[in-house]
Amino acid sequence: MEDVRSLASIFDEHLELTATVAAEGLASLGLVPGELIDGRYQVERVVAVGGMGTIVAARHVGMDRRVALKILHVDPVRHEGVRARFEREAKISAMMESEHVVRVFHVGRTARGEPYMAMELLEGTDLEVCVRDRGPLSVTFACTVMVQACEALAEAHVRGIVHRDLKPANLFVVPDPAGLVVVKVLDFGISKRTSTFDPKLTAAGALVGSPLYMSPEQVFDPGVVDARSDLWALGVTLYELLTGAPPFTAATLSELFASIAGDTPPQLRSMRRDVSPELARIVARALAKNPADRFASAGELATALSDFAAPEARRVAARAVRIERAHGAPSSEPPSAGERPSRPPTSSAPPRPRERPKRRARAILGLVLTAGVACAALYAFQPAPRAPSPTAEGGR
Q: Which residues are catalytic?
A: 165
- Give the Cα separation of 316 and 187 in Å (integer): 22
Q: Which positions ≥6 away from 45 have C-beta within 8 Å?
A: 22, 25, 26, 33, 56, 57
Cα 364 versus chain centre, distance: 29
Q: At what angle do helices 313-326 and 298-306 cross, to 10 degrees?
A: 160
Cα atoms in the Cβ-side hemisphere of radius 13 Å centred on 333: 4
Considering only CA atoms, give the Rg of the chain.
21
Q: Which residues pair with 106 in a beta bridge?
A: 118
Terminal C-alpha separation, the chain: 21
Instruction: Find out whether 361 and 258 touch, Cβ atoms under 8 Å.
Output: yes
- Give the Cα separation of 173 and 195 in Å (integer): 31
- Give the Cα separation of 277 and 318 in Å (integer): 24
H or E element: which one contains 256? helix 253-262
Instruction: Find out whether 297 and 154 touch, Cβ atoms under 8 Å.
Output: yes
Q: Which positions ≥6 away from 179 have C-beta within 8 Å?
A: 1, 4
- Give the Cα separation of 136 and 222 in Å (integer): 30
- Burial-class residue 366 by CB neighbours within 10 Å (0-12, 13-18, 19+): middle
Strand order across the 36-37 sheet = 36-37, 41-49, 53-60, 65-72, 115-120, 104-109
